[in-house]
Amino acid sequence: MKQPKPFSSFFSHFHIKSFVLQPYSSYSVMAQTRTSPDPENEHPPRNLTLTADARVERAWAHWTKLGRPKLIVAPMVDNSELPYRMLCRKYGAQAAYTPMLHGRIFTEAEKYRNEEFTTCKEDRPLFVQFCANDPDILLEAARRVEPFTDYVDINLGCPQRIAKKGNYGAFLMDNLPLVKSLVEKLALNLEVPVSCKIRLFPKLEDTLKYAKMLEEAGCLLLAVHGRTRDEKDGSKFRADWKAIKAVKEAVRIPVLANGNIRHMDDVKDCLEATGVEGVLSAETLLENPALFAGFRTEEWVSGCEEGTFVDGKLDQADLLIEYLNLCEKYPVPWRIIRSHVHKLLGDWFSLQPHIREDFNKQYKVTFEYLYDMVDQLRETGTRIPLYRKSTEMEPTESYTDQHN
């Protein structure tokens, strides 16, 4: 079995690729026909029909087939939708999760399916994530997306009150037999691999038993958020990379790390500290979708030696314009667009609160209004650059000039 490439090999070959957008395709349109099946592996053996060694071999073969992505957009409710995934992919993301989809609602409501799950040809590798507490309902939901995803992911990590009320996410940690049945149901009945995203138990030994149980149940990829269920606030609780390393060493399938990824130096440090195959970023990507291209906000350059970081010739208003362009090609609900506007322009609005107040007053928002709003911000002289290391900058061109 091939082992992962060394860390140094990844960074020596890291580069950003631009992409060409394709016409918008909604789930309801795409679901009519299977697109781009793999003729050599269209019907692979289902996970639990294989021996343990064969499952591990399949896990690594699939991961290798996807290119062993290391820079991954984490699942974010109402925030990791298609246009934002595509924006992050332009700026270095090598794979992405959908937002968490509610398994039962997904099976019952066509409108929910059409609005909450959209994808396109370039939106790969893709992990479609569901929350559920009923194996049969989860399988029904998973079968609807199976042709369009590289993994069906089970959310076992959401710590929010709504997850407690609905009995899903991290609150299934209290019912491990149910968790096992969810994984086994998919592993026995899907052709696409099953992945899981988990949080830590307070005791490391419980976390390791949990990870091994998931592997034995048929999980072929494990993403570990390095915080417990009670550690909801990432600004107050640092992710435990040592615990993630312990999980990586306890299982034989590929493992991803989630937590404490604020810039590319964190990516490097996390990969070295944990030995995982890749990292996920969530909150930081919301304010800086160019994180994986080496850009960072002012917060993460303050205190550094003068001259180490320079204006990257890119800012969050530039990124918002790109995002809005993508939303015009790949429509999403306006509540999602509003959320991204606030995340991207939060610091800008703090300097021009009257523009934020006018935005918040809008009952109905249009693209024209949002483009004009960005122009208003520019006209006030407001600009908050994103920064890159001076050694990575070309002398004359901006990033967008180089990659458009």
* Tens-level pLDDT at each residue, the chain (404 residues): 444 443 333 433 333 333 333 333 444 334 332 333 443 444 455 666 688 899 999 999 999 999 999 999 999 999 999 999 999 999 999 999 999 999 999 999 999 999 999 999 999 999 999 999 999 999 999 999 999 999 999 999 988 888 889 899 889 999 999 999 999 999 999 999 999 999 999 999 999 999 999 999 999 999 999 999 988 776 678 999 999 999 999 999 999 999 999 999 999 999 999 999 999 999 999 999 999 999 999 988 877 777 788 988 999 999 999 999 999 999 999 999 999 999 999 999 999 999 999 999 999 999 999 999 999 999 999 999 999 998 876 644 455 555 55
- Give the number of other CB atoms < 10 A from CB of residue 302: 9
Residue where a domain terminates, one of 293, 315, 334: 293
Residue 382 lies in a domain: yes
Q: What is the pLDDT of residue 169?
A: 86
Distance CA 44, CA 65 (A): 14
Q: What is the CA 77 to chain-centroid distance, rounded?
A: 10
DSSP letter for 227, please: E
Residue 45 lies in a domain: no
Same domain, 266 and 234: yes
Residue where a domain terminates, one of 293, 311, 338: 293
What CATH number corresponds to the domain at position 107?
3.20.20.70
Q: What is the pLDDT of residue 25?
A: 42
CB 239, CB 276: distance < 8 Å: no
Same domain, 287 and 183: yes
| 3-class state of residue 290 by DSSP | coil
Distance CA 368, CA 372 (A): 6
Q: What is the pLDDT of residue 231?
A: 87
Residue 321 lies in a domain: yes
Residue 214 lies in a domain: yes
Distance CA 225, CA 244 (A): 8
Total of domains in the chain: 2
The single residue of 158, 196, 270, 327 carrying the catalytic annotation is 158
Same domain, 267 and 352: no
Same domain, 316 and 367: yes
Residue where a domain terminates, one of 264, 293, 322: 293
Whole-structure pTM value: 0.87
Picking from 144, 192, 139, the residue whose alpha carbon sits closest to that of residue 31 is 144
Same domain, 139 and 259: yes
Q: What is the pLDDT of residue 11?
A: 39
Annotation marks residue 158 as catalytic: yes
Same domain, 111 and 238: yes
Residue 34 lies in a domain: no
Q: Which domain does 89 fall in, by range?
A: 50-293
